[in-house]
Structure 1
Amino acid sequence: MHKLLLAVVLLAAAVFGAVPAGAQGTYPSHPVKVVVPQPPGGGFDFVARLLADRMGRQMGQSFVVENKPGSGTLVGTDFVAKAAPDGYTLLTGSVSNLALNPGLYRNLPYDSLRDFEPLGIAVSYSYTLMARKDLPLNSLKEVVAYAKANPRKLTYASAGAGSGQHVLAAALWHLAGVELVHVPYRGAQAAYQDLIGGRVDLFFDLAPTARGQIDAGTVKALAVSGSARNPMHPDLPTITESGVAQLDLESWFGWFAPAKTPPEVLEKLRAGLAKVMAAPDVAEAFRKAGGKPVALGAAETRALVQGDVQRWTRLIREADIRAD
């Protein structure tokens, strides 16, 4: 009888021991890692840290941001794609690492649609096109007219080949039928140094980061990339309004879990994130930073990623934009 009881106990231990920790009803029982695939200080990092702080309060467990930059956004994104699907490693996803990379890399080590489960998208940011302050061109239309008459005379910076700044600019010049010289940098800060110093002519960057330089008068703002004008710069026309091309791009940011994460864990994460995104102070923090709170749920997020992957893969390959 004792042997039979012992066998039953051991069998139960084996069965329950095989269940992922997050599926035992105690999730989260220890800190959750939130991977940011870029260095500290940018849009990825700001969104991740704000959400992590609020999610920690909401879920009663720490959500710890870990920056994993490398090869643009590939290293950190691939790390999460291959992480244990237990709810303890999440990805801060954006248009750049999930929607642009499939077109930029022919041998992408992860699949944006197959390898991740969307939790939700919190905010989107438009980009602002800036020029060095002494550039004798005062609108995007003037830039394109000059570039048509003077091929490859103008230069444009980016935070690296394949970055959102690079793809947006290269797509714009392609659609406008002009040739400019791409000058990639290792991050936005280095690009700003040369733009402010007059060593490069143009630079697209996320509106919140660009705002400080525009307000300080160190650069000249020409246009915004959203489908509508940015409330921070209501006088700046959109790319489409400028009349040089039909193009818009907003960089959205949200959270994603590895595929095959247990449904009950996904449900807890999605419910918690939805409450965080709906909080008025979170929306206000995004607005103050120049963002547009969107608070998209899982189904809406999946549809947005699918649509952007299709749209941008086609445009990137038509324009022959490369990350290397």
Structure 2
Amino acid sequence: MARPLDRRQLLVLAAAAAAAASSPVFAQAYPNKAVRIVVPQPPGGGFDSVGRLLADRLGKQMGQGFVVENRAGSGTLVGTDLAAKAAPDGYTLLVGSVSNLALNPGLYPNLPYDSLKDFEPIGLAVSYSYTLMARKDLPFRTLQDVVAYAKANPGRLLYASAGNGSGQHVLAAALWHLAGVEITHVPYRGAQPAYQDLLGGRVDLFFDLSPTARVQVDAGNARALAVSGPARNPMHPDVPTVLETRVAQLELESWFGLFAPARTPADVLARLREAFGQVVAAPELGESLAKGGGKPLQLTGEAARAVVRRDVERWAPLVRTLGVRAD
């Protein structure tokens, strides 16, 4: 007959049971409630479309709701800062891009978040190049021709942007700075009015995301001079990269991905990265992104962090040098 347990043995067993009950094995698996994905811009556009695409697929992959929450304001500042300061529990994620994570540190002298310290990358899903367009009747066929004219006629040419501090503004300003030319900036409130004046011949040049630019280029309403990526864009296979033109050592693609607040538990990050990797590896997602003019990416964890760090370290100092400020 077994001897009854003494008081010391009972205490040891009770402690072991309590530890087991509080261990991850016994805890409810993540996620056990809806996860919000903060999109720091209004509905529509690159941030929103990528956020909704990932929300839909991650929800199916993880068996829990992923809900997009548009938190616009001050460009991308309000939503990005909200995500940076959210509880680091895996239930608030951010759609991050070159715009809010790599350019903002140069645009704002007192940025309320640190792109590298305040976020943990889950992964990057897609990137888009920009296309430099000229009005269709501009008497220059190449970027080299534009730069040669601008050197001889400082300030005569006009380039549009979607607003001070927008990606279109920063990229074009960097190009003209590196090429050593002066071209006059004409900021608009959004891309649509910029297109109206480019097509109407009231401005000469406009750098916009390639998927949007493609519509006007294919229709013959504007002429493509160069693309900003490291390689030619399949949508414009005959258009050289800026690097190929040798006008400037400049290349930029606007990537989009998911980020969690710093100090999110390692096991939650691992679960998110695993699910994200499975989602972006799906052939149908890659085909959908490519059809929309994007370059599918399958970067998670440290690989994604390396891309973010590279662009923060490259672009934030350059933006400060340019003296560009957001509206």
Same fold (TM > 0.5): yes
C-alpha separation between the residues in 2 aligned to 1:157 and 1:176? 18
Q: 1:244-323, aligned counterparts within 5 Å?
A: 244-323=247-326
The answer to whether the 8 Å contact 1:165/1:203 transfers is yes
1:31 CA displacement: 1.9
C-alpha separation between the residues in 2 aligned to 1:159 and 1:65? 24
Pick closer, same or farther for the CA change 1:120–1:194 going to 2, 3 Å.
same
1:193 CA displacement: 2.2
1:126 CA displacement: 0.8
Partner of 2:6: none
Equivalent of residue 212 in structure 1, options 212, 215, 220 = 215
Aligned to 2:224, the other structure's residue is in SS state strand
| 1:175 aligns to 2:178 (yes or no) | yes
Give the stretch that moved more between structures: 314-323 or 293-302: 314-323
Give the stretch that moved more between structures: 50-59 or 66-75: 66-75
Aligned to 1:121, the other structure's residue is in SS state strand
Aligned to 1:26, the other structure's residue is in SS state coil
C-alpha separation between the residues in 1 aligned to 2:41 and 2:149? 35
Q: 1:225-244, aligned counterparts within 5 Å?
A: 225-244=228-247
Give the stretch that moved more between structures: 164-173 or 192-201: 192-201
1:199 CA displacement: 2.3
C-alpha separation between the residues in 1 aligned to 2:43 and 2:140? 33
1:47 CA displacement: 1.4
RMSD: 2.0
The answer to whether the 8 Å contact 2:158/2:186 transfers is yes
C-alpha separation between the residues in 2 aligned to 1:119 and 1:247? 27
C-alpha separation between the residues in 2 aligned to 1:64 and 1:194? 37
The answer to whether the 8 Å contact 2:164/2:324 transfers is no
The answer to whether the 8 Å contact 1:72/1:160 transfers is no
**Aligned partner of 1:171: which letter?**
A
TM-score (norm 2): 0.89
**Aligned partner of 2:281: which letter?**
A
Partner of 2:161: 158
C-alpha separation between the residues in 2 aligned to 1:231 and 1:200? 27
Deviations 1:105-156, CA, capped at 9 Å, x for gaps: 1111100011101000011111100112222222111111121122111111
Partner of 2:111: 108
Aligned to 2:126, the other structure's residue is in SS state strand
Pick closer, same or farther for the CA change 1:33–1:254 going to 2, 3 Å.
same
| 1:142 aligns to 2:180 (yes or no) | no
Deviations 1:234-270, CA, capped at 9 Å, x for gaps: 1001111112111111111110011111222211111
Find runs of 4+ consecutive structure 1 residues off by over 6 angstroms. none
The answer to whether the 8 Å contact 2:37/2:94 transfers is yes
1:30 CA displacement: 2.2
1:306 CA displacement: 1.2
Aligned to 1:49, the other structure's residue is in SS state helix
Give the stretch that moved more between structures: 271-280 or 216-225: 216-225
The answer to whether the 8 Å contact 2:243/2:250 transfers is yes
C-alpha separation between the residues in 2 aligned to 1:285 and 1:138? 33
Aligned to 1:183, the other structure's residue is in SS state strand
The answer to whether the 8 Å contact 1:159/1:188 transfers is yes
Task: From the CA coordinates, give the structure whose radius of gyration is larger.
Answer: 2
The answer to whether the 8 Å contact 1:130/1:202 transfers is yes
Partner of 1:119: 122
Identity over the aligned pairs, expressed in percent? Answer: 71
Give the stretch that moved more between structures: 238-247 or 190-199: 190-199
C-alpha separation between the residues in 1 aligned to 2:130 and 2:223? 14
The answer to whether the 8 Å contact 1:120/1:297 transfers is yes
Aligned to 1:61, the other structure's residue is in SS state coil
Partner of 1:34: 37
| 1:186 aligns to 2:159 (yes or no) | no
**Aligned partner of 2:52: which letter?**
R
C-alpha separation between the residues in 1 aligned to 2:53 and 2:196? 27
C-alpha separation between the residues in 1 aligned to 2:87 and 2:186? 38
C-alpha separation between the residues in 2 aligned to 1:302 and 1:246? 23
C-alpha separation between the residues in 2 aligned to 1:71 and 1:144? 33
- How many residues end up aligned between the 2 structures? 308
TM-score (norm 1): 0.90
Partner of 1:200: 203
User: Unmatched 5+ residue regions in structure 1?
Assistant: 1-7
